[in-house]
A and B are shown apart, each in its own frame.
Chain A
Amino acid sequence: MRRAMRFTFIACLLCAQLPALAAERTDKEVVQFDVSTREISIQSNFTGIEIVVFGSIDSAQPRAAGQTPYDVIIVISGPKQALTAWRKERVAGIWMNGASESFVSVPSFYAVLSTRQIDTMAAPTTLKTLGIGIEDLRLGGVEAEGLPGDDVFRAALVRLKEKRGLFQQEEGSVSFIGRSLFRGSVDLPANVLLGRYKAQVYLFRDGQLLSKNDSSLEVRKAGFERAVYLLAFRYPFIYGLAAVAMAVLMGAVAWAAFRRE
């Protein structure tokens, strides 16, 4: 037992060393980053928040002749949600929801920030494999079932999400300070969903992915709003009763305060 454990330990040490050994350069660039706010509390005065993502490149190399500068892509994605996109059709003079397509895994929020246009940093296949960019998002629509997807609905979903500030692709919004420091900022609108948000940073040079790092942030309701929300969804009957009691009480108080008898 003990021997087995020691063996595993050594094996693990080896595993950890392997990537470094495999790499040609031992001083390979590693991207590190953090977000300005790891916990976002939604309170009564919440109207959205700006999140700053800042980071640095460890063992950054000076740019050799013919090399492109470092490229950074920051991806922030919110919890998945299931949505239906509807197209209105005119029936007897009235516009009503007609054809629709459901998407079962839409990121409720998705932002891509980058130093420049992402398709100039890496090959389309690389981006597709990594799933970077709104265009390559897998939304779980009909194309997920191998059927030819009607792009109209996907395009509409993306457009509506962009209009609400929930999908953002801001090319050129990440800037370098000096050789190895970078920062980018993203606006989370007031209508963001609660839950855990994933933040990923990719470092590219010459179309090659050099390093990648993950982190996360949490969006949650706080204080009174959180209490109301939790009550409404966990104990909806009690919540309803409380709301009715509040109304009855306020109505009675109004009557008592303004009675003219």
Chain B
Amino acid sequence: MLQVYLPIAEISVNLMVMLGLGAAVGFLSGMFGVGGGFLLTPLLMFSGIPPAIAVATGANQIVASSVSGALVQWRRGNVDVRMGLVLILGGAVGALAGVILVGALSEAGQADLLIVLGYVTFLGIIGTLMLGESIRAIRRARAGRSASPRKPGQHNWVHGLPLKMRFPHSRLYISAIPPLVIGALVGLLSAFLGVGGGFILVPAMIYLLRMPTNVVIGTSLFQVIFISAIVTLLHATFNHTLDAVLAFLLIIGGVIGGQFGASAGQRLKGEQLRALLAVMVLAVAIRLLLGLMLTPKDLFSLTPLLGAD
């Protein structure tokens, strides 16, 4: 049993467990083509890493995985840099708000609870939506029909807002307000929960901004690099909750797991893959919720008193 001491978390963890955790999440994220932060952070919390450190360190790991992913997409010309920059601008504001929020809640003793509650809500909604969608898709596939593709030129209320900008890569001429707001929301979520936010970004880009599907993944990954980098930097600077040694182990594991995941993912059907992921997301949400609902073994807990020296 190889133990590694984490200098910021100030605990000793098993090297193989942390590498394995990174690999497992990397495998899943490679298989499903998702960032994996939404699974990594709760798993870190389950393995005894304090939630605030799990969030900041998770964000650092996401930087690495999104760089790899974004480079692949970049080579294929699937990144709308202009849209990405607008999203990042909004995201930076959201991230700052999120980091301040985590700091303030820690002081009030409620950060852990709200991070977990945030996860339960977030994973519950996403899991339910994904499960519903994939079941419908599986049924459709059995009935022999195909999903309806995006109809170009179709507009919704989002397109009526002012401050219009041209996004040539996405062949869009829309207001900058929706991408700014979406970016800010993702930034907030990222800072608060240590997730990349691709889960929110991808559907929002497709359904709200009506971006072409081929640039959605690349642009989302491009934005996630910067937002998670900003989140990492802010948590490190203001909350001192980033454990770089832990991040290093998770990245190593994640890179290896990601490669196997990607090849495993190619052998499964899209709808089945999504249904499987949805079930997993819901399982994590239920596990977290149970943790809040069941009578705790110990009603008392200790936290460092901030502001006192």
Residues of A in contact with B (beta carbons under 8 Å apart)? 42-48, 81-88, 93-97, 100, 102-104, 153, 156-157, 159-161, 190-191, 193, 221, 225-226, 228-229, 232-233, 236-237, 239-244, 246-248, 250-252, 254-255, 258-259, 261
Minimum-distance CB pairs A-B, first 3: A251-B67, A240-B236, A156-B300
Bound form: Cα–Cα A93–B292 in Å: 8
Q: Are A243 and B110 in contact (CB under 8 A)?
A: no
Residues of chain A with a CB closer than 8 A to B240's CB: 232-233, 236
Contact of A241 among B5, B233, B251, B252 (CB under 8 A): B233
Bound form: Cα–Cα A255–B255 in Å: 9
Residues of chain B with a CB closer than 8 A to A246's CB: 244, 247-248, 251
Q: Are A83 and B305 in contact (CB under 8 A)?
A: yes
Bound form: Cα–Cα A103–B302 in Å: 10
Q: Are B248 and A44 in contact (CB under 8 A)?
A: no
Q: Are A87 and B299 in contact (CB under 8 A)?
A: yes
Q: Are A237 and B233 in contact (CB under 8 A)?
A: yes
Apart from A82-B305, A97-B110, A243-B242, 6 more pairs, CB < 8 Å: A44-B4, A232-B7, A239-B244, A243-B60, A250-B251, A252-B68
Contact of B301 among A85, A242, A244 (CB under 8 A): A85
Q: A47-B3, A88-B300, A228-B7 are in contact. Are A244 and B233 (CB under 8 A)?
A: yes
**Contact flags B226-245 to A (C-beta < 8 A → 1, else 0):** 00010011111110101011
Bound form: Cα–Cα A240–B292 in Å: 32
Q: Are A254 and B5 in contact (CB under 8 A)?
A: no
Q: Are B8 and A86 in contact (CB under 8 A)?
A: no
Residues of chain B with a CB closer than 8 A to A254's CB: 64, 68, 255, 258
Contact of A82 among B3, B7, B255, B308 (CB under 8 A): B308
In the complex, 8 of the A-B residue pairs with CB atoms within 8 angstroms, ordered by the A residue number, are A44-B5, A93-B293, A100-B109, A236-B238, A247-B67, A251-B65, A251-B66, A251-B68
Residue of B nearest to A230 (CB): B7
Residues of chain A with a CB closer than 8 A to B303's CB: 83-84, 86
Bound form: Cα–Cα A160–B302 in Å: 8
Which of A88, A94, A254, A259 has its CB near the most chain B CB atoms (within 10 A)? A254
Bin the interface of chain B by size: 35 or more
- Count CB-based A-B contacts (< 8 Å): 178
Q: Are A46 and B237 in contact (CB under 8 A)?
A: no
Q: A97-B113, A156-B300, A251-B65 are in contact. Are A236 and B305 (CB under 8 A)?
A: no
Assess whether B61 is interfacial by the CB under 8 Å rule.
yes
Assess whether B181 is interfacial by the CB under 8 Å rule.
no
Assess whether B72 is interfacial by the CB under 8 Å rule.
yes
Assess whether B63 is interfacial by the CB under 8 Å rule.
yes
Q: Are B301 and A229 in contact (CB under 8 A)?
A: no
Bound form: Cα–Cα A43–B4 in Å: 9
Assess whether B208 is interfacial by the CB under 8 Å rule.
no
Residues of B in contact with A (beta carbons under 8 Å apart)? 3-5, 7-8, 10-12, 60-61, 63-68, 71-72, 75, 109-110, 113, 117, 225, 229, 232-238, 240, 242, 244-245, 247-248, 251-252, 255, 258-259, 292-293, 295-296, 298-305, 308-309
Q: A84-B303, A85-B302 are in contact. Are A221 and B64 (CB under 8 A)?
A: no
Q: Are A190 and B12 in contact (CB under 8 A)?
A: yes
Q: Are B11 and A247 in contact (CB under 8 A)?
A: no
Bound form: Cα–Cα A232–B304 in Å: 18
Residues of chain B with a CB closer than 8 A to A161's CB: 302
Residues of chain B with a CB closer than 8 A to A191's CB: 10-12
Residues of chain B with a CB closer than 8 A to A44's CB: 4-5, 245
Q: Are A261 and B75 in contact (CB under 8 A)?
A: yes
Bound form: Cα–Cα A181–B98 in Å: 59
Residues of chain A with a CB closer than 8 A to B71's CB: 251-252, 255
Bound form: Cα–Cα A48–B11 in Å: 10
CB distance from B25 to the nearest CB of A (A): 14
Contact of A247 among B10, B109, B251, B308 (CB under 8 A): B251
Residue of B nearest to A163 (CB): B298
Q: Are B3 and A84 in contact (CB under 8 A)?
A: no
Q: A45-B3, A94-B293, A243-B247 are in contact. Are A87 and B236 (CB under 8 A)?
A: no
Q: Are B302 and A84 in contact (CB under 8 A)?
A: yes
Contact of B63 among A42, A160, A248 (CB under 8 A): A248
Q: A85-B302, A252-B71 are in contact. Are A240 and B233 (CB under 8 A)?
A: yes
Bound form: Cα–Cα A3–B242 in Å: 62
Contact of A242 among B109, B244, B302 (CB under 8 A): B244
CB distance from B108 to the nearest CB of A (A): 8
Q: A83-B302, A244-B232, A247-B63 are in contact. Are A255 and B5 (CB under 8 A)?
A: no
Residue of A nearest to B111 (CB): A97
Bound form: Cα–Cα A160–B296 in Å: 14
Q: A96-B113, A239-B236, A242-B244 are in contact. Are A258 and B305 (CB under 8 A)?
A: no
Q: Are A240 and B66 in contact (CB under 8 A)?
A: no
Q: Are A46 and B236 in contact (CB under 8 A)?
A: no
